[in-house]
Amino acid sequence: MTRSLASLVLAAVLSATCLSGVAHAAESASPAKMTQTSPFFPLDNAVGRGEWSAEKQATFLQQLGFDGISYNYTNAADIARCRAELEKRNLKFFGLYFAVRLGQPEPLPADFLESVRALSGSGCALWVIFPSPITAGNYDEDLVKHLRALSALGQEHGLPVVIYPHAGFYIATAEQALRFVDQLPELPIGMTVNLSHELHAGNGHRLKEIIERAGPKMTMMTINGASDIPGKGWNNFIKPLDEGDYDVQGLLRFARNRGFTGPVGLQAYNVKLPPEENLQRAITTWKRWAAQRP
């Protein structure tokens, strides 16, 4: 089978010499940044994914006071357009969410290298998920190989690699992500704690322990309103930020008190509110929490 450009690039960078350091994102001057240690951004599922233009998304987020956005992978042209609209408004492209498909000859999107070039120097996280392979088995070695390759490519372009654990995937929880990050201590690879996915895994009562174990390797978080009732589904684990009885504010305070200053994303999968209302309520809640900081 003919290998794609993305596959060739991935193989080529395996032997590359890692560059030192990771480019740091420029500080945002938006209100969300000024009132919290961490910048706050919505995932694009909160901002009219597939319906709102990049211009409309960036304009609305700037008006509300968010610090930027993250995007699901589409194509290199879209990604370049989104970056341009954000930077016109002093907003940040925080994460590019994409899949590496383990055990496949073409593990990455066909235009992945072009997309990386479109984001070069932006500090955007290569926010990687590892879906469950088509054929069951142990793919740990393959996964570590891909992490090394992505890290080399990311360092070349100033784009940090951050694992995004996802329910039902090969890496489904923060602790599973941490196991792989710990295998590559020489590389600046981070991991995400996703509130909703940890609740889905039954880890809601242990999240502070998990955050403490992760320490500085936890470089991003995603949050939402929630109630921790195991087995009740995503409507329980993902609510508007001002709903639910899970102590999200307390979790953020705990993380901050242990040195976390990374970006915090707003998860909105399957939230039924119009994006305008959900985003307004979320930024209002975020600013209220910021004002209550001890």
- Residue by residue, DSSP assigns 210-264 as HHHHHGGGEEEEEE-B----TTS-HHHH-B-TT-SSS-HHHHHHHHHHTT--S-E
Instruction: Return phi, psi of residue 252, to 5°.
Output: -65, -40
Q: What span, in angstroms and rounded, lies between the C-alpha atoms of 118 and 84?
A: 10
Q: Write down the pLDDT at residue 187.
A: 97
- If you ran DSSP here, which 8-state letter would residue 89 be given? T
d(CA 57, CA 85): 9
In this structure, which amino acid lies at residue 32? A
Residue 165: name the closest of 135, 139, 127, 214 by CA: 127
Q: And the tokens for 37? A: 């240690």
| Three-state secondary structure call for residue 65 | coil
> If you write DSSP's letter for every residue of 136-197 in order, what string do you get?
-S--HHHHHHHHHHHHHHHHHHT--EEE---TTSSS-SHHHHHHHHHT-TTS-EEEEEEHHH
Query: What are the pLDDT tens digits along the chain (294 aa)?
Result: 334 434 544 444 443 433 333 333 333 334 454 345 799 999 999 999 999 999 999 999 999 999 999 999 999 999 999 999 999 999 999 999 999 999 999 999 999 999 999 999 999 999 999 999 999 999 999 999 999 999 999 999 999 999 999 999 999 999 999 999 999 999 999 999 999 999 999 999 999 999 999 999 999 999 999 999 876 788 899 999 999 999 999 999 999 999 999 999 999 999 999 999 999 999 999 999 999 876
At which residue do the structure tokens 């953020």 appear? 252
First-to-last alpha carbon distance for the chain, in angstroms, is 59
Structure confidence at residue 5 (pLDDT): 36
Domains and CATH numbers, the chain: 32-291 (3.20.20.150)
CA distance 107 to 139: 13
Residues contacting 170, CB < 8 A, separation 6+? 102, 130, 131, 132, 133, 139, 143
The β-bridge partners of 194 are: 222
The pLDDT value recorded for residue 32 is: 55
Amino acid 292: pLDDT: 87
Burial class (CB in 10 A: 0-12, 13-18, 19+), 16: middle
Burial 242-256, CB ≥16 within 10 A → b, else e:
ebbebebbebbeebe
Q: Does the CA dihedral 97-129-149-160 come out positive or negative?
A: positive
